[in-house]
Amino acid sequence: MVILGFFDKVMTKNDSVDLEEVLNNLDQVEEETYENADAFVKPMDLVVDADVEAVMKEVRAGNIALVNIADLQKRNASKLRELVSVIKTEVKKIDGDMARISQERVIVTPARVKIIKKK
């Protein structure tokens, strides 16, 4: 009977998962080594001209940049268009790809990583 009670507990686990807590903890930095990684997905901000070169440096190194454009979009939409245009030109030169994935984020990928875009 003890064994049946154990299996009953295991098989009927009723712990509810707090989705909000799980999603909020995804950004937590963990003590982890990245020695086996071939590439990284890097969150970056696009605020000033120098950020364009920082994004392109990562993409040229083979990494994927998730670029936050929210701040610049609120403050200076014309500057945002200018900087995004520069990134787009540079990405084409290295056969990379670029797409907007939300109102606040743009993804920039290196060569050999293409983004399937919805029509």
Helices assigned H by DSSP within 1-119: 2-11, 19-24, 49-60, 70-75, 77-93
Distance CA 52, CA 59 (A): 11
Res 55: pLDDT: 98
65 or 118: which leads in pLDDT: 65
Name the nearest CA neighbour of 42 among 20, 59, 60: 59
Whole-number Cα distances in Å, 2 to 7, 10, 13, 33, 85: 9, 13, 17, 42, 68
pLDDT value at 3 more than 90: no
**Residue ranges per domain, the chain?**
39-119
pTM to 2 decimals?
0.73
Q: Which helix (H) or strand (E) holds 99?
A: strand 97-100
Note the pLDDT of residue 118: 83
**Superfamily of chain region 39-119:** SepF-like protein (3.30.110.150)
Predicted confidence band of residue 43 (pLDDT cuts 50, 70, 90): very high
Over the stretch 8-42, which tens digit does the pLDDT of each residue have? 554 555 556 677 776 677 666 665 667 788 899 99
pLDDT digits (tens, 9 = 90+) for 52-100: 999 999 999 999 999 999 999 999 999 999 999 999 999 999 999 999 9
User: Which residues pair with residue 112 across a beta bridge?
Assistant: none
pLDDT given at position 103: 93
